[in-house]
Amino acid sequence: MMVNQQQITKLSNGLTLIVEEMDAVKSVAYTLIVPTGIVHDKIETIGASLLLTELTTKGAGNRSSRELSEAFDDIGARHSESSSAYTASYSGSLLAENLDAALPLVADMVRRPQLPKEEIDNIRSLLLQDIYSIKDNPSRRVMNELTQLYFPEPFNRPSSGEAEGIGKITINELKELFERTYSPNGAVLSIAGNVNAVQVEKLIQNLFSDWKGEKIELPKFGPMPKRGMHHIQVEAAQLQISLAYPSTKFAADGYYASRVASDILSGGMFGRLFIEVREKRGLCYTVYLSTSSTSLSGVNVAYAGTTPERAQETFDVMMAELKKVKGTVTEEELSRSKANIKASLVMSEESSASRAGSNASDWWWLQRLRSLDEIQDSIQAVTFRDIDRYFEDYPCDQPMIVTLGSKELKYA
Residue in 379, 156, 360, 146 with CA at minimum distance from that of residue 251 = 379
Long-range contact list for 354-358, CB < 8 A, 24+ apart? 355/4, 355/20, 355/22, 355/29, 355/192, 356/20, 356/29, 356/30, 356/31, 356/91, 356/93, 356/190, 356/191, 356/192, 356/193, 357/29, 357/31, 357/91, 357/190
**CATH class belonging to 5-208:** alpha beta
Give residue 227's pLDDT.
96
pLDDT one digit per residue (tens) for the chain, 412 residues = 345 799 999 999 999 999 999 998 999 999 999 999 999 999 999 999 999 999 999 999 999 999 999 999 999 999 999 999 999 999 999 999 999 999 999 999 999 999 999 999 999 999 999 999 999 999 999 999 999 999 999 999 999 999 999 999 999 999 999 999 999 999 999 999 999 999 999 999 999 999 999 998 999 999 999 999 999 999 999 999 999 999 999 999 999 999 999 999 998 889 999 999 999 999 999 999 999 999 999 999 999 999 999 999 999 999 999 999 999 999 999 999 999 999 988 887 779 999 999 999 999 999 999 988 999 999 999 999 999 999 999 999 999 999 999 999 999 7
Is residue 54 within 8 A of residue 114, CB to CB? The reply is: no
How would you list the strands of the sheet with 284-293, edge to edge?
229-233, 400-405, 239-247, 298-306, 284-293
Beta bridge partners of 93: 29, 78
Cα 73 from Cα 90, distance rounded (Å): 16
Cα 412 from Cα 398, distance rounded (Å): 11
Give residue 357's pLDDT.
96
Residue in 178, 148, 173, 176 with CA at minimum distance from that of residue 160 = 148
Domain 229-405: homologous superfamily in CATH? Metalloenzyme, LuxS/M16 peptidase-like (3.30.830.10)
Residue in 28, 30, 22, 19 with CA at minimum distance from that of residue 198 = 19
Beta bridge partners of 78: 93
The radius of gyration computed from the CA coordinates of the chain, to the nearest angstrom, equals: 23
Give residue 1's pLDDT.
39
Give residue 412's pLDDT.
75
Same topology between domain 5-208 and domain 229-405: yes
Residue in 192, 191, 213 with CA at minimum distance from that of residue 111 = 213
Cα 46 from Cα 39, distance rounded (Å): 8
Q: Domain residue spans in the chain? A: 5-208, 229-405
